[in-house]
Amino acid sequence: MARRRLSMRKVREVLRLRHELGLGLRQIARSLGLSHSTVSGYLGRAEAAGVLWPLPEDLGDAELEARLFPGSEGQGRRRPEPDWGRVHRELRRKGVTLQLLWLEYKREHPNGYQYSRFCDLYRRWLKTADLVMRQVHRAGEKVFVDWAGLTVPVVDSATGEVREAYVFVGALGASNYTYAEASFSQALPAWITAHCRMFEFFGGVPAVVVPDNPRTAVVQSCRYEPDLHPTYREMAAHYGTAIIPARPKKPRDKAKVETAVQAVERWVLAPLRNRTFFSLAELNQAIREGIEQLNARPFQKLPGCRKGLFETLDRPALKPLPPTRYEFAEWRKARVNIDYHVEVDKNFYSVPYQLVGQEVEVRLGATTVEVFYQGQRVAAHARSSGKGRYVTEDRHRPAAHRRHLEWTPSRLVAWAGNIGPETAQLVRLLLASRPHPEQGYRSCLGLLRLARQYGASRIEAAAARALAIGALSYRSVKSILERGLDLVPLPAEASHTPAPLRHTNLRGPPATPPRRCPRADPNDHGTSPPDAPVRDG
């Protein structure tokens, strides 16, 4: 309009300079900054339209333009006006731009607006529409999720206890199609499960999920690189979507869900305020009925409703659901102990022994426990339901530990028999003196090392002396060898007197304890069983 008023002002000045001052075409052109052809055109149009100088005082710019340019203004007034509401809806479809819509408009109306005018009129229309529509959302692109601020009380019919139920809300960006469900918790399992059911309600998965910054979604909020919870990230990978949290303190980033939460509180939860619910299932059934009515409710400033837009816009653009629902699993960090096990929920699970001291990630599923190191799975176990239990794979042990586990009581006794009968008897009694035979394995393996150092004959003699004095321990035998007592002959009566044995697995009356020797082995520091008698050899 300003350009048009400026042109009419110059037309009036051209007529004045020509008819009142009598200037030539080139002089008028230099005076007004116009080309002489333009000046000639203005004068020719005025002469053809019968416009004489001086102009009538009541002749306005619009009427003067209509008389000098009869086709332009009339044609402009007859230009078809686009359906801007339809243009706005079409822009939500993937790949649709204003230029494409303008080209389609021009094919239908060749005398319609030019592209720049088309864009300008669309922006003007946006200013008159609802403010929440200023952000253009592509079909199937985003879903916005959050917890509602309003809770709903649920009464336990058995105890009368009242529990507050929290309401999860999700809304698709293009159609505003809304989902809601109630839960007794806002913790991670409820958050993840609500997402899974929301995708199933939509019948597909949007490309992006936009949450706020709760601890269940974002471990550490950041404007540029938020640290997502590992379980949330794994759930997104299962459904083939991306998590892009809203920027902290930027409510416009999640304006869709803010509006959806307000709608759910007003049109779904508020009508339930006078109802008493006795179970979460009963409450969720009422919420589902309210959500159906909300999605079918007509828009106030646009044609249609949420459900209609969903069927035409979002549903065709959503990604298909995976074959199975995501199985909830919790991720934790742990450090591998020196026994190459990690502690999870007071149980212990083995990992390769090379990872001792390293920090690993543990994925806790309903039935499995998986351990990851630097993104690679290094162990998988069935989840134990007890407390304090060890779950160990043999391949995770060092080779020395595997060889140790290959020893059995019978094998140890057989090995000792290769040295001599006294050594075999000592090993047999040593294993029987322990509450569990495995507790004597280390002592027996220690005797093996002594046999390599001192030879079979000396070990046999030391074993005989140890049996005679009832010193059933590795340290006693080692002390006998170090002092050379194995080289001293035993008294005749001591060599034929077996050492009494007490053990919980032996039957019969207890043996009479013999006289204790006042010269007991000073190097035996309590490694022998407390009830093992010691006799002087």
- Position 67 scores a pLDDT of 80
Our CA dihedral for 41, 43, 44, 49, rounded to 10 degrees, sits at: 120
Neighbours of 483 (CB within 10 A): 13
- Position 291 scores a pLDDT of 92
Calpha distance 442→419 (Å, rounded) = 18
Tokens of 176: 């505003």
For residue 138, give the DSSP letter. Answer: -
Pick the closest to residue 168 from 102, 223, 214, 226 (CA basis). 214
Give the max Cα distance, the chain: 158
Calpha distance 345→385 (Å, rounded) = 9
Pick the closest to residue 38 from 68, 80, 58 (CA basis). 68
One digit per residue, pLDDT tens: the chain, 537 residues? Answer: 444 545 777 888 888 888 877 888 888 887 877 888 888 888 888 888 888 888 887 777 778 888 887 755 444 446 788 888 888 878 877 678 888 888 888 888 888 888 888 888 888 887 776 544 445 678 888 889 988 888 999 998 888 899 999 999 999 988 889 999 999 988 888 999 999 999 999 999 998 888 876 666 665 555 544 567 788 888 888 999 888 887 666 666 566 768 888 889 888 888 888 899 999 999 999 999 999 999 998 887 777 888 988 998 888 989 999 999 888 888 888 898 877 888 888 888 999 988 888 999 888 887 888 999 888 889 988 888 778 888 888 888 777 666 666 667 787 788 888 888 888 888 888 888 876 565 677 778 788 788 888 888 888 888 888 888 888 888 888 898 888 888 888 776 554 445 454 544 444 454 444 444 333 343 443 333 333 333 333
Phi and psi at residue 324, in whole multiples of 5°?
-125, 155
Calpha distance 427→407 (Å, rounded) = 13
Pick the closest to residue 177 from 97, 259, 85, 95 (CA basis). 259
Put residue 176 in one of left, alpha, beta given phi > 0 → left and psi -120 to 50 → alpha: left
Calpha distance 360→374 (Å, rounded) = 8
Bridge partners, 323 (sequence order): none
- Position 1 scores a pLDDT of 45
Neighbours of 530 (CB within 10 A): 7
- Position 468 scores a pLDDT of 87
Query: DSSP string covering 232-258, please?
Result: HHHHHHHHT-EE-PPPTT-GGGGHHHH
- Position 401 scores a pLDDT of 66
- Position 184 scores a pLDDT of 92
Sign for the pseudo-dihedral over CA of 355, 356, 357, 360:
positive
Cβ-contact 341, 390 below 8 angstroms? yes
For residue 484, give the DSSP letter. Answer: T
Calpha distance 486→304 (Å, rounded) = 103
Our CA dihedral for 373, 378, 384, 388, rounded to 10 degrees, sits at: -60
How many helices (DSSP H) and strands (DSSP E) are in the chain?
21, 15
- For 309, the 3-state DSSP assignment is helix
Pick the closest to residue 251 from 210, 308, 304 (CA basis). 210
Distances (CA, A) of 463 to 511, 516, 534: 22, 19, 14
Distances (CA, A) of 30 to 1, 39, 47, 115: 25, 10, 22, 33
Calpha distance 347→356 (Å, rounded) = 17
Helix axes 456-469, 441-454, angle to 10 degrees: 130
Distances (CA, A) of 193 to 181, 185, 281, 330: 10, 11, 15, 13
Cβ-contact 340, 351 below 8 angstroms? yes
Put residue 383 in one of left, alpha, beta given phi > 0 → left and psi -120 to 50 → alpha: beta
Q: Where are the alpha helices (DSSP H) in 129-251?
A: 188-202, 230-239
Cβ-contact 494, 535 below 8 angstroms? yes
Q: Between vectors from CA 409 to CA 407 and to CA 412, what angle results, nearest 5°?
A: 65
Cβ-contact 278, 156 below 8 angstroms? yes
For residue 528, give the DSSP letter. Answer: S
Question: Integer distance in angstroms from the first to the last C-alpha of the chain?
Answer: 126
